[in-house]
Every structure is written in structure tokens, then in C-alpha cells.
Amino acid sequence: MADCPFNILAVDDEPILLDIYRGILESTHLRLLPDLDPSSAQDRPAPRFRVSCCTQAEAALEAVERSFETGAPFSAIFMDMNMPPGPSGIWAAEKILKIDPAANIVLVTGYIGSDSGSLPRHLNFCDRLLYLQKPFHPQEIVQCASALSAKWRAEQQLRFLNLDLENMVHQRTQALQRTNEQLRREVNHRRNVQHELQQSLDHLKKIIGGTVMAIAMTVEKRDPYTSGHQQRVSELARAIGTEMGLAPDQLEGLAIASAIHDIGKISLPAEILTKPSQLSSLEMGLIQAHSQAGFDILKSVDFPWPVAQIVLQHHERLNGTGYPQGLSGERILKEARIVGVADVVETMSSHRPYRPSMGLDKALEEISAKKGILYDPDAVDACLMLIEKKRFEFASPVFA
């Protein structure tokens, strides 16, 4: 699969631009992404693309449908915004995402400021929709195609992993149901039946916890610089929830969700996760899409807690400036607000590829200064109480 070329669709009403797309992407001498290890450049072959071209939006829809019929979907689609006399690129993008929700679309235009206002509301923030302004540099096309194709391939692999996870949970649930049915037939007294059911439930929770930890370790294996981040966030989040008086069942769901809150980063290229310098706007957009990607991975898993929603909302902020949905106030789950505080404290207090640790004092100063604005006041107060008064420490300390 890795040796097969990625299928790219270019849509523009100017044939000369389609020739440019084909010339840029099918050139064998261009590399997609800069090597982190220059010594390996000669050993790594340049990735390849197969480019299909259309001049109108309707033809693009037909091409996407054909790609599904032939089992060769497009990893990235470059779409001109305006293609008179036919429908616009925005119209085509909305239709394509209904046909192929996994499509990655780059809207190409010379007037981003005016055209973006005509987007349908549900497309205004979407990890499947990016902008590229004309005139573009060839390397911009190469880098866009590279990042989106790598993301597309990772998502294909994640779909298979997600199916395996669903099957595992389903099989374990069936086994639990059979065990419970057998217990109901064999045990005469209600107290014994309830006791056995509780044992079975505890066993299922341990299975879910073990599965979750395996997933968390898989994510962190791809990024050694933040190894242990999710586990430390889970430790602090659970301690904050306990300080706030959350019920035991809520605490269990909080611990599970916080332990895999960054699972969506598994869909990102490792080069972005470990980049030792400032991220570009395109790379930052891909990073910010990890909350939605994590939700998409977990939403069909039947957890007894709102794990997928907590993962989706952990970067939302009280004043509505967070992402991906711009939620505010009580619309954000309490557990997600707790994870948000724990995530900020752990991240600021830890080293990253692009900066040294900012220190615990700076982290506490950040959440104190923006309490009630960005961060939940109760969660902030509980966090300050734990660290300043009760001397909370991680199992693996990270604070200087």
C-alpha cells in the first residue's frame, strides 16, 4: 500500500492550471516533506501522485463517485472556488463531503476574505476543508498534497483499528451478558446475583481500562517528546475531579477520557508532532483537528461514559474561543472543562520539542489569571488547592 501512488483530484476551469497541477505533483524529483534526518534523504524515494483533472464542479462529483466504484478514492482534492458558468467550488465541496466524508478538500482562490463568507455554516470550521490562495508556489501544492495524503492514509488505518476495538468491546460485552445470564439461572438469592453482576461490571471496566491504556501508549509511541503526557493529565484530572466532589462513576469516565484525550493525534504525520520549530498555519490547522479526529475514532464505541464528547470538547473554552465547536459556559461538559485545566498545567510544565518547560509557577499563573474567562473556576480552584496546599505530585514528576 505504501508503494502505491496517492490519487489526487484537481478541479479548475482553466486547463493551463490543471497542467500545472499535474506537472507539479507528477514530477518525480519533488519531495513531499522535509526530512527530519538529512542523512536518510538518499535512501527514501520521493512519494508519488496520480493526478486526475476536471474543469467543472459536476464532473468533479462524477470523478469522486467513480473513485469509490473502482476502490481508488482521492487522498486530496484541489478545488477552484469559482468556475463559471457552472456551480462553485463551495457547492462541489459540500456535495463531495456527503459522498465521501473522509475527503480532504483544498479550496483554491484569489479572494479568501470575501469567498469564505459564502460558506455554509456547517462548513465554516471543518478539518476536511482548507484554503490556498492564488497565486501559489509549487512547493505549497506539494506540501498540501503531502500532509493531506499522509493524514488520509493514517485515517484509513485508524478505521481498521477502530473496527478492531469495536469488535473487542462487542465480544467482551457478549461474554459478560452470557456470564450474567448463567449467574441468573444458577444463583437463587438476589444478593448473590447482585454481587456477581458487580464483579462482572468491575471486570469489564478493567478490560476497558486496559484497552484504553493500550491505545494511549500507541499514540505516545509516535511522539517520544510528549511520552507520558496523557497519563499525567489523567492523574491530575482525576485528582481535580475528586477535589470537586465528582461521583465515583463520573471520576472513572473522567480518568478514561483524559487518558486518551489526544488520541486524534495518531492521524497526524510524525514530522509535525516532533517539529522543533514554530508550526505553520497549515500544520497548526491539522494539529487543532485532533479533537474532532479523536471524537470520530471513539464515537461508535459504547462506553458507559461520554468519553467521545469529553475528548471532542477538551480544547473548548468558557468564553467560546476554543475549538472545534466554539462552545461556551455550561455547554461544555464539566469533565471536559477539568481535562482542559489539567492539560494546560501539564503542557506548560513540561518540555516540548519547540521550547523548554515554562515551569509550574507560570502554569498556575496562567490558569489563575484566566479563571472564569477561559477556564472553569471550580476546576482552577481545585487544581490550585491540590498543588499549593496539598502538595499533589505526579507518579512520574515533571515539574521543575
- Print the SS3 string covering 105-159: EEEEECCHHHHHHHCCHHHCCCCCEEEEECCCCHHHHHHHHHHHHHHHHHHHHHH
Q: Which three cell numbers stand for residue 390?
A: 496539598
Does 181 map to a domain?
Answer: no
Instruction: Count CB-CB contacts under 10 A for residue 288.
Output: 16
Query: The domain containing residue 281 runs over which residues?
Result: 222-389
Instruction: Count CB-CB contacts under 10 A for residue 141.
Output: 23
* Domain end call among 108, 133, 154: 154
- CATH number, domain at 150? 3.40.50.2300
> Does 108 share its domain with 254?
no
> Does 132 share its domain with 236?
no
Q: How many domains does the chain have?
A: 2
Q: Which helix (H) or strand (E) holds 7?
A: strand 6-11
- CATH number, domain at 268? 1.10.3210.10
* Domain end call among 119, 154, 189: 154
Instruction: Count CB-CB contacts under 10 A for residue 143.
Output: 18
* Domain end call among 154, 182, 197: 154
Omega into 324 within 30° of 0, i.e. cis? Answer: yes
The CA radius of gyration of the chain, in Å to the nearest whole number, is 24
pLDDT score recorded for residue 186: 78
Chunked into runs of 10 residues, the chain (400 residues) has average pLDDT values of 79 93 78 47 63 95 92 92 90 91 89 55 62 88 91 86 82 80 74 66 62 64 67 93 95 92 80 68 80 89 90 96 94 97 90 71 94 96 92 63
Q: Which amino acid is at 155?
A: E
The reported pTM is: 0.48
Does 173 map to a domain?
Answer: no
Q: Which helix (H) or strand (E) holds 314?
A: none
Furthest-apart CA atoms within the chain: distance in Å: 81
Does 94 map to a domain?
Answer: yes
- Which segments within 30-123 are labelled E, that is strand? 49-54, 76-80, 105-109
The whole-angstrom separation of Cα 25 and Cα 141 is: 8
Do the beta carbons of residue 57 and residue 82 sit within 8 Å? no
